[in-house]
Structure 1
Amino acid sequence: MNHNTPLSPRPLQHLAESRQRVLSAAQLKGHGVGAAALNEQCRPGGPWQQLLPGVYLLHPGPPTADERLHAALLYAGRPQIRAVASVPTQAAQGEPHSPPAQRTPYANAMITGLAALTLHRFASAPPLLSLDRIDVMVPRTRRLRSTGFARLVRSCSLPTPQLIGGVPVAPVARALADAVAQLSESGPVRRLLTEAVRGGHCEPAAAVRELNQAKLLARPHVVDAVDSLLAEGRAIAEDRLYAMVREHALPEPLWNVDLRLPGGPQLGGVDAYWPDQAVAVELDTRAPRHSLRAESQQDSAGLEWSEHARKREHLERLGITVVHLTPRKLRESPDLQATVVRTALMASADRDPAAYVMVLPH
């Protein structure tokens, strides 16, 4: 077969019956579909249509939500990928077998923003077909422009995507930041952030960190939503701590109290305290503080950590055992955290008596 030999109609019939209904021009070429045949199939009223530059839909009707996702990824992915790995072509049969990562047509591209949150099953995210744009994250060096329904989000460092239904999707915290960047009202931003925490999709600190890196914390409507997010995260973590104590039959502590030396300075607040065993539990719900300057955020976070460490060291010098828990630990391994607290309570019998401290309501 030479370049002048007419194309056989068999590849087109094979593609029409394939489950993969969205292909790039490079993939179609790998199936034996040349430029002339491609133009003929995509003529007005023809059986195929062009969705995006170099990306084709192999049926005449409107694309489904899944087809739009794959089309956006094909447009943004590396152009040198020539064929779908699961469908070997005649030209590729004699070539060495390539690693899977080199054969994916979506290399260095993943869905992000509102579309990604919909794939992560956010109830507050809109249906995929209602989105005018699908955000696709690509490396900053990618030479490509947003077009049609594919909007490119450039990034210096790509996170590791999660595969959802065969679609590479940005992690929740990163997708949140990309979604918030496109929203101008506090209501939708607050709903997304609240669902992220309440639904256990990500921790507040991770969400705020991504918003901070995206330089979104200078926007007033984002700052208002972040305040609600941190309060929501704190309340959820406290509820999990209450449930852990109750479900694992730990002794009932004094909740949310301040410790103070008699006649001396305040030692600070703790989330739970067992005075007979001198054991305290602290929830670490700290997150980067928002301000107009990144330097101020870093300085504030550093000062907050120093104060936190100083309080813990002071309590431990007084003989009080401080158990440090994070919301993530309580969510992912409550059994293990209950064991840690129980061990601290039991070990109190082998320690020297702690200094007497006053316990006051927080």
Structure 2
Amino acid sequence: MRAGSPHPDDLFAAAVAGVIRARQLVELGLPETTVYRRCRDGGPWQRLAPGILLMATGHPTPDQLATAAVMHGGPGSMITGLHACHRYGVRRGPALPPALHLLVPHARQVRNTELMHVERTARLPAPIVRGGFPLAPPARAVIDAARRLRSRREITELVSDAVQRRLCTVTQLSAELTESGRRGSSTPRKVLQDVSAGVLSAAEADAKKLWQRSGLPEPWWNARVHDADGNLLGIADAWWDDVCLAWEINSFEWHLAPQDYAREQEKRARFAAAGVTVLPTLPRRLRTHRAQVIDELRKSYASAASRPRPDVRASPRDDGRQHGGLTGGIRQ
């Protein structure tokens, strides 16, 4: 280190998670030529956005990327899309993309970068701060993410997880989608119709398609089932009330934690003890063994119809905020 140059500890102390503006480094006494030389290929630093540096090599962490994005966007900017959803706790759906989605005021000219997609908007909401970062409200973040996705399955998982975690309601998502315009809205709109009807995961959407081919009456989706004393037995993914048949689309891969899987087994035991017929189906079989699953569904319905109806009561999901399904249904 040259005499008179700032001490490295002083440089890192001025940074946030290793992220700092180039002009701050110059103000601390580091020559501008040195700043940008260190950001060249093979150098110890890198540029995340114009004039914003990471004093490290390798891919930035989510916090480092978020810090740089907010610096780049300036006052009033906020994180939206999948990166915001992840910070709210949404875990189902697609993996985090390399590029962060950033909202900025419409009047501000801010460039896209390799790691940041900048969207200028006249509909800038009031941010919600999580972990020190300004985030678009959950409904806006989910819809901003969904409109950039192409996979109906991924959109369904994203939307259903946000609803099941009570971050937002189907009504709020539908209103946000209406306000967002037509671009990229077709598939999210279809998904919201499914979720509003009680289909709260991609696997349940697959199940709904198979039921439509089965010739059986339409079940209640995510129905609450109680015993004769009014105790909640559980929430059935699909429920035929006339014969007391519960169709459960569950597997360990869909649960958030081992204790959730244990609760699912306890729910199934309560159903069995109350005399409810339960047909369990693994999510992957809905796609790989469609004919077999339809046959099992028909036979289970016939078997349930052949025995006296047990003394249980069920209620259908009555709005867009009931939390049943592959993950929500086990949180009893």
Shorter-normalised TM range: 0.5 to 0.7
1:68 aligns with 2:57: no
* 1:65-90 CA distance string (max 9 Å, x none): 2212212222222xxxxxxxxxxxxx
When residues 69 and 219 of structure 1 are mapped into structure 2, their CA distance, relative to the original with a 3 A threshold, is closer
On the 8 A contact 2:128/2:137 being kept in 1, the answer is yes
**Secondary structure in 1 matching 2:198:** helix
Q: Which residue number corresponds to residue 206 of structure 1? A: 172
Indicate the structure whose relative CO is greater, using CA pairs within 8 Å and at least 6 residues apart: 2
On the 8 A contact 2:195/2:320 being kept in 1, the answer is no
Shift of 1:166: 1.5
Which amino acid counterpart does residue 115 of structure 1 have in structure 2?
H
Q: For the residues of structure 2 that align with 1:44 and 1:207, how far apart are their CA atoms?
A: 44
Q: Which residue number corresponds to residue 76 of structure 2? A: 108
Over the matched positions of the two proteins, sequence identity in percent amounts to 28
Q: For the residues of structure 2 that align with 1:219 and 1:199, how far apart are their CA atoms?
A: 23
* 1:29-56 CA distance string (max 9 Å, x none): 4433342231233244332221221110
On the 8 A contact 1:24/1:56 being kept in 2, the answer is yes
Which amino acid counterpart does residue 5 of structure 2 have in structure 1?
P
* 1:312-335 CA distance string (max 9 Å, x none): xxxxxxxxxxxxx9877x99xxxx
Q: For the residues of structure 1 that align with 2:188 and 2:93, how far apart are their CA atoms?
A: 17
* Stretches of structure 2 lacking an aligned partner (at least 5 in a row): 201-219, 232-317, 324-332
Shift of 1:217: 8.4
Q: Which residue number corresponds to residue 10 of structure 1? A: 6
**Secondary structure in 1 matching 2:129:** strand
Q: For the residues of structure 2 that align with 1:14 and 1:238, how far apart are their CA atoms?
A: 60
TM-score, normalised relative to structure 1: 0.52
Q: For the residues of structure 2 that align with 1:217 and 1:43, how far apart are their CA atoms?
A: 38
Shift of 1:126: 4.0
**Secondary structure in 2 matching 1:10:** coil
When residues 38 and 219 of structure 1 are mapped into structure 2, their CA distance, relative to the original with a 3 A threshold, is closer
When residues 126 and 38 of structure 1 are mapped into structure 2, their CA distance, relative to the original with a 3 A threshold, is same
Q: Which residue number corresponds to residue 279 of structure 2? A: none
Which amino acid counterpart does residue 78 of structure 2 have in structure 1?
M
* Stretches of structure 1 lacking an aligned partner (at least 5 in a row): 1-5, 78-106, 248-324, 332-362
* 1:175-218 CA distance string (max 9 Å, x none): 01111110123221122111121221101111100011112488
On the 8 A contact 1:55/1:75 being kept in 2, the answer is yes
The CA RMSD over aligned residues, in Å, is 3.5
Q: Which residue number corresponds to residue 289 of structure 1? A: none
Task: Specify which of 45, 50, 59 is matched with residue 47 of structure 2.
Answer: 50
Pairs within 5 Å for 1:88-107: 107=75
Q: Higher Cα Rg: structure 1 or 2?
A: 1
Q: Which residue number corresponds to residue 120 of structure 1? A: 88
**Secondary structure in 2 matching 1:151:** strand
* 1:340-359 CA distance string (max 9 Å, x none): xxxxxxxxxxxxxxxxxxxx
